[in-house]
Structure 1
Amino acid sequence: MSSDKSKQQNAHGEEYKCQDCQDTGALLIKKEVERLDGKKVQQELFEPCHCAEKKKLQRRYKNSLIPDEFENASFKEYQRNTDVQKTLFNATVSYMNKIQSIISEKPELNSLGFIAEFGETTIREMKGEDRYTFKQQHNSFGLGKTHLQMALARYIMESVRVRDTHPDGTEAKHNRGCQVLCISDVTFMEELIQAKMSSDEGKKLQKLVNGACEVDVLVWDDLGKAKWSETKEGLYYQIINERWRHKRPIIFSSNEDQGTLSDKIGYAAASRLFGMTGEENLYEVEGPDYRLQRGKSNV
């Protein structure tokens, strides 16, 4: 008899997605327990099926908002042909090895940042040939920062566990999967501004801000890319300050340097953000644009 024929079906004649629990999410097991009188008996108990955690992981993936082009990003695929690529890779793996203790112990230095040695704003202010030459010498684009961020986000969702603390100070009975939110600066700031202007008494804005503030790990790609405004500076501060207060990590990348990024997001927010990385987890990087190099190799 083939395995297909032996698969069980539900009342509608459809095969169960999980043959072990028949899509209930729980398994009935027999376990030997000791009664108060000392006698050992067999007792039927329910325990979560392996498919339940898989479904939770799928929901975490969906809620993380990882861009489609990076949904399969992995450390194995990342090219390490240049010094800067090796630096980025090693820094990310080093942080990855510490992330479980960071989530569990909540140290003040809990974040990881990749920024430019010379910010995009600085280079844009240069004139003509000087700007082009300087950009070639101090490029921070196409280094693979986003790829590594998304590979790290996938690892965190798959491997890191969280034990929540109740309002009364007691710990939750069970661990849960780590929740990650990935945001792209320009898109996210536009969503916040649109929500702020909507006529729903601030409900959508509060939901977006709370999501960024309260998620276990926030991955912020291209931080400081959005055009500056006083309103945006206030929103940067609100989110970064809240995460700083509760020691919740931010994994971020930016094509600005420390000075120009501070100009874009505000000095108060930048002070807290750089305080969360410390010098050891803030990397100033530059090197050849991998996307351009790849294009040349295909010519």
Structure 2
Amino acid sequence: MERRFQNALIPEEFEEAGFKQYERQTEVQKTLFNATLQYMENIDGILKDKPKVNSLGFIAVYGEREIRNMDPADRYSFKQAHNNFGLGKTHLQMALARYIIEKIRVRDELSDGTLSKHDRGCRVLCVSDVEFMEDLIQAKMSNDEGKKLQDLIQGACTTDVLVWDDLGKSKWSESKEGMYYQIINERWRHKRPIIFSSNEAKGTLSDKIGYAASSRLFGMTGKENLYEVEGQDNRLKEEK
């Protein structure tokens, strides 16, 4: 378990994140909490039965890219009314990641289609979009015949559960769009879940990661596991 926690790459500030610490005062906080709790209750069956709808996503009602393109005179007031930052999405994601590592066990599928005789601990990988995409780009430029890049992509494709924080935050490029598609498509093919959050809306997220990748991603969440949320920025509240 200690090794799985290390390999999960949970950010240091969220290493102790749990559901009990998450405030549930506003309606959006209650929505996020209940959605995560419901998914948590189903995760064991999701990993065993491999349904097509297997993922969980929190996205914005109005995307960051859309707001940035607005007239500066209107941008601030619109951002205040339709805020997606500081809602506690990352905290809940990491609390869920910790629960899966601690509680969930899985069996590997063998080459003949049968399951292995013994359970093992569930492998989780947590990535933050900007850092992860930069790592992939740097690996692509490395003079190692693509080994490091392939290792990074393979890890994201094959881990039992991928937690992708701030999806679509990285600046768009054609190369990155190809990487988004490669990872999401591979997980879609093998019905491996992605737990993700984004400050983009459905349309602007599709612009950032590519329409083919977003089509598969939204198909993995279905309507029931994709939540468009907005509310008060709790970080600003704490500062006040």
Tell me the TM-score range normalised by the shorter chain: over 0.9
In the alignment, is residue 150 of structure 1 matched against residue 94 of structure 2? Answer: yes
Unaligned runs of 5+ in 1: 1-56
TM-score by length of 2: 0.99
Among residues 220, 227, 232, which one is paired with 1:283 in the alignment? 227
- Aligned position for 2:58: 114
Match of 1:227 among 171, 184, 187: 171
Aligned to 1:48: none
Q: Structure 2: 5+ residue runs without aligned partners? A: none
Q: How high is the TM-score relative to the length of structure 1? A: 0.80
Match of 1:132 among 45, 59, 76: 76
| Count, aligned residues | 240
CA drift at 1:199: 0.5
Q: Deviations over 1:207-244 (max 9, x none)?
A: 00000000000000000000000000000000000000
Greater helix share, structure number:
2
2:14 paired residue among 61, 70, 84: 70
- After superposition, the C-alpha distances for 1:60-80 in whole angstroms (9 at most, x for unaligned) are 000000000000000000011
Deviations for 1:147-182, whole angstroms, at most 9, x for unmatched residues? 000000000001111011111222211000100000
Q: Give the 5 Å matches for 1:14-163.
A: 57-163=1-107
Could you say what the CA RMSD is over the residues aligned between the two structures, in angstroms? 0.5
Question: Percent sequence identity over matched residues?
Answer: 73
Query: Deviation above 4 Å: which 4+ runs of structure 1?
Result: none
Tell whether 2:226 aligns with 1:295. no
Q: How does 1:212-251 map to 2 (within 5 A)?
A: 212-251=156-195
* Cα separation, 2, equivalents of 1:171 and 1:269: 30
Q: How many Å separate the matches in 1 of 2:55 and 2:202?
A: 15
Secondary structure of the 1:182 match is: strand
**Larger Cα-atom Rg:** 1
Matched position secondary structure for 1:110: coil
